[in-house]
Structure 1
Amino acid sequence: MIPVDITYDNYTFNASRWEDDYDLTDFLSIATTRAGAGYPAPLDGPKTASGTYQIAASFCTPKKRTAKAKNVIIATHGIGPARAHWNSPYRPDEYSFSLRIFTEIAVLKRLARFVKDGKYTGDIGKPVKTAVMGFSFGSYTTHGAVATMPDIADAVILTVIGFNTTGLNSNGLVRSFEPRVANQQNPALYGNLDNGYLTWVDKFGLIWNGSYFKKPNYELAAADFVELSKSPFAVAEFLSFLSGPMDASNYTGLVLAITGETDYIVCNGYCKGIFDQPGRTYYKNAKFTPYLHPGASHHINFHKNATGAYKVIIDFLGANGL
């Protein structure tokens, strides 16, 4: 565990606590109703807050060292996957790459600074170059960190992200997850969590959500693995993921934005024609590279051609000296 001291914009929860899935469903129906209905906003704020948090993190080093061993990627997972997302134990030769968004942006900035200073990096020491990489919610967190701390890294990799509101449907995202109170879904695993921690209802909620997966380019066993290895998420993550800063024009480094061409979550099922912008404008002073991965939806890490997506990322880094 890594102790992290942060100061951040805090949004307080502005709703009655729910006791069960019936209450939660009613809350979500109100929270996702169009603004004209006049319902109160679910989050109030922001107010400046500070605190010390214990952050679970893993630092991985290559078994065989090369000249690139001192180039470090700081990777952030999304809603649902745990940090093993980037180092999956499920058939790693085929699928492994190796509380609110403002809180998580602040945490990522501190962790990135630790890594750049050579703290917690073991015998790798102080990196020569660093890259930050996110998945889904983790990409919005990464983008927010880059927007507010442009010297955070030499390269930015944003996987399964979208900025174009033509394709982004946050209300639809919340509904399609069909969230349930995690401690009531699985008391043995999640009984120690309060009712603010949620999970999607089952693997079909996951597959429909996006299709996180797109037929015929995934294996049923891969979807089963993702379902069995899911982790609860805080409701405020859901409600705040599009609330972070967007303009990253002060960043002048390298950016790769990549998602599946049929990503339902960030492109409403079809990314062609809407993916480049406004991302290219947000990163107008950076070297911005957009890429749509064929035959995949949101969860590019667990489609049959996942290694092809990883190759795009690795080639991008290699071509730019990382």
Structure 2
Amino acid sequence: MLRTTLATGCSPKNPAVSYYNALAQTFYPPNGECSDFYVPISLDYEQPEFTATKWSNSFELQDFLSSLTARPGSNNLTALTGTKRTKGEFEIAASFCTPRVKKDGKEKIVIVATHGIGPGRAHWNPSFRPNDFNFVQFALDKGYSVFFYDRLGCGASTKIDGFDTTLDTAKVVLQSLAKNIKKGKYTGKIKAKKVVVMGFSFGSYTTHKAIAETPEIADAVILTGIGLNETGINLNGLVRSFVPRIANVENPALYGDRNNGYLTWPSVFDLIMNYFKAPSFAPETAEWAESAKEPFSAGEFLTFASPASISADKWDKPALHITGERDYIVCDGSCPGIFEEPARTLYANAKPLQLTIHPGASHHLNFHTNATGAFGVITDFLSKNGL
């Protein structure tokens, strides 16, 4: 049974405290009919186990990070060893939007969107300059329906132990949601004829692993902010550039409901370092993204690119990978020359595979000045492939 809330379109009066932790969205596209609800979900899965000493304060976290990123071969810390079985009952905060007017059959094509590390589901449906940055509004205008949700530990979804959630947690959640949407659940009167799974960053690696294991959950895949060439993923550099801090220490009013396993970066400049590239963004856009940030779990951060080498050879349907030309997180600042492989090899059976480098943008593809150009690449790809 879904628990729902009315789509009022009203923003909270105190955004510093509750802006993105509420089930109701702060913006509803005027061209859509939207609903917000909680999806109950039961999980039982295997995942890597966090076996390092858990930090209890910021000083211990800093020592953990310095040991983790020391020169290879210098008795580096190993944080995740072996696997453990995880079970539980949770709730996923989700939104579903379908076109208000444009009904030509495409509304039965449902895009299931998974956000990355840093944002929540408002990544796809921002209240800030929606004509420039709102993917949901753009997709609705093209006739598509969109299901988007807060990953576990984020936004209004169930908060779980930050030391006990990894990319595999996100993967099994997506697999469950997509399977049920294909069965006609969670989308009201619109019953999905086709399902497109789409991710951003961590959400793209999650989606990549999900469809590699269970290709039957979707009819097309869109991966944004992804790079499968591991030479472009500078993990030690990212740990340093993110400057991780304990989220409930940085902002106890907003993140006090999460334990010490949840981290965040300290300032907008750390966000810009990893997610934006001048001159293709406006400072006020970065400030908005900073105001909307969500903590990320230690386990997610340590496993975010772990599926990069996994083959998706079972996938024989349309696949689009689109990443910013200057992506700092997955291409170490420059994607040309390393973006195409091993993507072509890992998706050798995709029909078709389209690899697109979006000019000028860094990692936050949805929030650079040419974001609607990227949105157009996505919807054009779906349209020309019969979706």
Counterpart of 1:110, as a letter, is: S
Counterpart of 1:292, as a letter, is: I
TM-align CA RMSD: 1.2
Q: Does 1:266 align with 2:330?
A: yes
Aligned residues: 319
More moved, 110-119 vs 44-53: 44-53
For residues 201-260 of structure 1, what are the alpha-carbon distances to aligned partners after superposition, in whole Å with 9 as ceiling and x for unaligned?
Answer: 100011112xx1111111111000000110111111000112237111001001000011
Gaps of 5+ in 1: none
The answer for the alignment partner of 1:47 in structure 2 is 84
Gaps of 5+ in 2: 1-37, 137-164
The answer for the alignment partner of 1:275 in structure 2 is 339
Query: How far 1:14 moved relative to its partner?
Result: 1.4
* C-alpha distance in structure 2 between counterparts of 1:264 and 1:192, whole Å: 30
The answer for the alignment partner of 1:17 in structure 2 is 54
Contact kept? 2:69, 2:76, Cα under 8 Å:
no
For residues 158-215 of structure 1, what are the alpha-carbon distances to aligned partners after superposition, in whole Å with 9 as ceiling and x for unaligned?
Answer: 0010011221112211110001111111111111211111111100011112xx1111
With over 3 angstroms needed to count, the CA separation of the structure-2 counterparts of 1:34 and 1:288, relative to structure 1, is: farther
Match of 2:313 among 244, 249, 255: 249
* C-alpha distance in structure 2 between counterparts of 1:39 and 1:223, whole Å: 34
* C-alpha distance in structure 2 between counterparts of 1:119 and 1:313, whole Å: 25
Query: How far 1:97 moved relative to its partner?
Result: 0.2
The answer for the alignment partner of 1:90 in structure 2 is 128
* C-alpha distance in structure 2 between counterparts of 1:178 and 1:158, whole Å: 26
* C-alpha distance in structure 2 between counterparts of 1:241 and 1:8, whole Å: 17
Match of 2:111 among 68, 73, 81: 73
Corresponding residue SS for 2:179: helix
TM-score in terms of structure 2 length: 0.80
Match of 1:216 among 276, 279, 284: 279
Corresponding residue SS for 2:386: coil
Query: How far 1:27 moved relative to its partner?
Result: 0.7
The answer for the alignment partner of 1:239 in structure 2 is 302
Query: How far 1:137 moved relative to its partner?
Result: 0.3
The answer for the alignment partner of 2:377 in structure 1 is 312
* C-alpha distance in structure 2 between counterparts of 1:143 and 1:34, whole Å: 30
* C-alpha distance in structure 1 between counterparts of 2:209 and 2:45, whole Å: 12
For residues 68-107 of structure 1, what are the alpha-carbon distances to aligned partners after superposition, in whole Å with 9 as ceiling and x for unaligned?
Answer: 1100000000001011111111110001101210111011
Counterpart of 1:285, as a letter, is: N
The answer for the alignment partner of 2:169 in structure 1 is 103
Query: How far 1:59 moved relative to its partner?
Result: 1.3
More moved, 43-52 vs 308-317: 43-52
Q: How does 1:114-133 map to 2 (within 5 A)?
A: 114-125=180-191, 127-133=192-198
Query: How far 1:50 moved relative to its partner?
Result: 2.9
- Following TM superposition, where does structure 1 have runs of at least 4 consecutive aligned residues deviating by more than 4 angstroms? none
Counterpart of 1:11, as a letter, is: P
- If asked which structure has higher relative contact order (CA below 8 Å, sep 6+), I would say 1
Counterpart of 2:268, as a letter, is: K
Match of 1:303 among 356, 360, 368: 368
* C-alpha distance in structure 2 between counterparts of 1:46 and 1:280, whole Å: 30
The answer for the alignment partner of 1:293 in structure 2 is 358
Counterpart of 2:283, as a letter, is: L
The answer for the alignment partner of 2:15 in structure 1 is none
Counterpart of 1:39, as a letter, is: N
Corresponding residue SS for 2:87: strand
Counterpart of 1:90, as a letter, is: F
The answer for the alignment partner of 2:292 in structure 1 is 229
The answer for the alignment partner of 1:188 in structure 2 is 253
TM-score in terms of structure 1 length: 0.96
Query: How far 1:55 moved relative to its partner?
Result: 1.5
For residues 115-150 of structure 1, what are the alpha-carbon distances to aligned partners after superposition, in whole Å with 9 as ceiling and x for unaligned?
Answer: 00011110102x111100000000000001001001
